[in-house]
Amino acid sequence: MNKLVDELNQQLAEINGKAAVVSIHHLADLDSELNNNIKQGILRSDSYHRLVSFYNLTFNFKPPVDFPAAQSIIITAALQPKVEVKFKSFDKIYRAIIPPTYMDSTDKEVMERLSSCLAKFNYQLHPLRLPLKLLAMHSGLASYGRNNITYTDQWGSFFRLKGFYSDLPCQEDTWQEVRMMEFCHKCVVCLNQCPTGAISRESFLIKAEKCLTFFNEGSDNFPEWIKLPWHNCLIGCMKCQDVCPVNKEYKKFIVSGSDFSEEETSMILQGVAKDQLPLDTIEKLKRICLLDDYQVLQRNLAVLIRKNKFLEV
């Protein structure tokens, strides 16, 4: 069976991906770990439940009823760059960054490679909804940074996680304790550079209620305490990742995304309903995986343009 896991990784390597396999019996361990972290105050109950509600996280720590043959969990990581998007407004070009992990195009590639490889041995994949970062840590696929972001030895934090149930037997379980990267024990660069003070010296569990990404992914107005110069991405935040020494080889790994014309930018800023946008504009939004977050895009783009004008004064 190790040969099959090796073959899975060979297939994924061709698209800059990799995988680890753990037993489905660890579902109870995940459930217990989250509950214990809340009981012990390691993870604040109000913050956790706020995140669950905010992101509509419906984790199910029971084996899938509609896939009773499931024996293992396959967790994958796929290399992703930052994506630069351009907007034209009043004859000026504004450049904005989408961090790694937001582009879901790699999900399809990973699933197709895994499905094709497993099918040759009569095994299947099944979707799951579980805490992927925690799974990646326990599987050995990744480690936590002090900033609560996952890192791999190969790509730093420039990758996207995806998980699946499978009926593939798990003969060699890679389950291990969650750990923070060794490098982080002697480094506090991200802590010092985080504008909101969300990163802690004591733990790799950040203060989610202070994290700019949390607010930048929602559609509500930003709290008054978040200062204009802190905004740096079209969605999410790259402050701690860009300064992280572990990311030094990848922080300039940027590819071009969609370019929006003056008219398109104006429609976005004016809040024209997405179903009223030209088809070309809709396709551009799909290409950068922001059509579903269109309302967030309108607000965040306006803030980034205001920031740019503020810095020019």
Distance (Å) of CA 308 to CA 74, 96, 229, 304:
43, 11, 9, 6
Q: How far apart are CA 20 and CA 6, in angstroms?
A: 10
∠ CA 200-205-207 to the nearest 5 degrees?
65
Residue 87 contacts residue 224 (beta carbons within 8 Å): no
Residue 163 confidence (pLDDT): 96
Beta strands in the chain (DSSP E): 17-23, 72-79, 82-89, 92-98, 125-127, 143-144, 150-151, 159-166, 254-260
Residue 205 contacts residue 289 (beta carbons within 8 Å): no
The domain spans of the chain are: 2-312
Residue 201 contacts residue 154 (beta carbons within 8 Å): no
Q: How far apart are CA 242 and CA 254, in angstroms?
A: 12
Sheet holding 92-98, edge to edge: 92-98, 82-89, 254-260
Dihedral over Cα of 271, 275, 278, 282: its sign = positive
For residue 95 the two structure tokens come to 């450049």
Q: How far apart are CA 159 and CA 136, in angstroms?
A: 12
CA atoms within 13 A on the CB side of 287: 15
For residue 119, what are the contacts with CB-CB under 8 A and spacing of at least 6? none
Beta strands in 237-289 (DSSP E): 254-260
Residue 209 confidence (pLDDT): 84
pLDDT (tens place) for every residue of the chain, 313 residues total = 578 899 999 999 999 999 999 999 999 998 888 777 776 655 655 555 555 655 566 788 889 999 999 999 999 999 999 999 999 999 999 999 999 999 998 999 999 999 999 999 999 999 998 999 999 999 999 999 999 999 998 899 999 999 999 999 998 888 999 888 999 989 999 999 999 999 988 776 788 889 999 899 988 889 999 999 999 999 999 999 999 999 999 989 999 999 999 999 999 999 999 999 999 999 999 999 999 999 899 999 999 999 987 656 4
For residue 287, what are the contacts with CB-CB under 8 A and spacing of at least 6? 257, 258
Residue 39 confidence (pLDDT): 67
For residue 276, what are the contacts with CB-CB under 8 A and spacing of at least 6? none
Longest dimension (CA), the chain: 64
For residue 69 the two structure tokens come to 């043959």
Dihedral over Cα of 198, 199, 205, 211: its sign = positive
